[in-house]
């Protein structure tokens, strides 16, 4: 009997899985007022798990996990964040990561005045809140003079709530002008300005 040897083809090797594409990353705004949301988005390999990581001020490179989503069929992904302080963000996929995207957070400064039509030489009360809490910080009452904001009086921020500090200060108004309240940045937060108000002397 003649033995017939049948050639058995070697099992085909599975093609190596391509390395994930390093994610791109961008913020919808480079700075945001405290309490407001920002979108962080980018692209990577389609249908891939993307993990957003954050490193808040003072930026010690300890990127903690924020959330994970899966990129869509075109590789796009997005997250919505509402940071308390200025923060650096990074997007990670298995085997690759994005560059770092910085996001600055401004103080939120509210402002009210006791009157918008003071008598000449009378005092006007400025009051409001600064968020997040910044007890011991300084709020500056500023007047616009020839296009330049000049500080006319400062006051120290006092405790109010767990998330905000308060200010209350009177200034003497002798002529019509436009005013605002400003709180300077401290590293964790960028400077914040209140809305403007025109005081009309009569």
Give the CATH number of domain 26-106; options: 3.40.30.10, 3.30.390.10, 2.60.40.1930, 3.30.379.10: 2.60.40.1930
The residues that bridge with 172 in the sheet, in sequence order, are: 123
C-alpha separations of 188 from 36, 59, 65, 103, 184 in Å: 16, 10, 20, 11, 11
Task: Give dist(CA 128, CA 125) in Å, integer.
Answer: 10
- Is 26-106's fold the same as 108-199's? yes
C-alpha separations of 182 from 118, 140, 157, 189 in Å: 22, 5, 12, 13
One digit per residue, pLDDT tens: the chain, 202 residues? 444 444 445 444 555 666 778 999 999 999 999 999 999 999 999 999 999 999 999 999 999 999 999 999 999 999 999 999 999 999 999 999 999 999 999 999 999 999 999 999 999 999 999 999 999 999 999 999 999 999 999 999 999 999 999 999 999 999 999 999 999 999 999 999 999 999 999 9
Domain coordinates in residue numbering, the chain: 26-106, 108-199
Domain 108-199 fold is: Immunoglobulin-like (2.60.40)
pTM for the whole structure: 0.86
């Amino acid at each position: 009997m003649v033995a017939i040897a049948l050639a058995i083809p070697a099992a085909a090797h599975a093609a190596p899985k391509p390395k994930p594409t390093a994610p791109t990353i961008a913020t919808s705004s480079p700075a945001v007022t405290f309490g407001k949301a920002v979108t962080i988005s980018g692209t990577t390999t389609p249908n891939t798990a993307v993990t957003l990581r954050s490193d808040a001020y003072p930026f010690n490179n300890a990127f903690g996990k924020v959330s994970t989503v899966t990129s869509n069929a075109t590789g796009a992904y997005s997250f919505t964040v509402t940071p308390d302080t200025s923060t650096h963000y990074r997007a990670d996929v298995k085997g690759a990561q994005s560059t770092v995207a910085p996001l600055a957070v401004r103080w939120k400064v509210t402002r009210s005045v006791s009157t918008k039509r003071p008598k000449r030489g009378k005092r006007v009360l400025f009051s409001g809140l600064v968020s997040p809490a910044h007890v011991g910080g300084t709020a500056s009452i500023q007047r616009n003079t020839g296009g330049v904001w000049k500080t006319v009086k400062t006051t120290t921020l006092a405790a109010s709530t767990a998330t905000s500090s308060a200010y209350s200060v009177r200034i003497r108004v002798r002529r019509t002008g436009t005013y605002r309240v400003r709180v300077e940045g401290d590293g964790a937060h960028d400077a914040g300005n209140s809305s403007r108000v025109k005081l009309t002397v009569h």
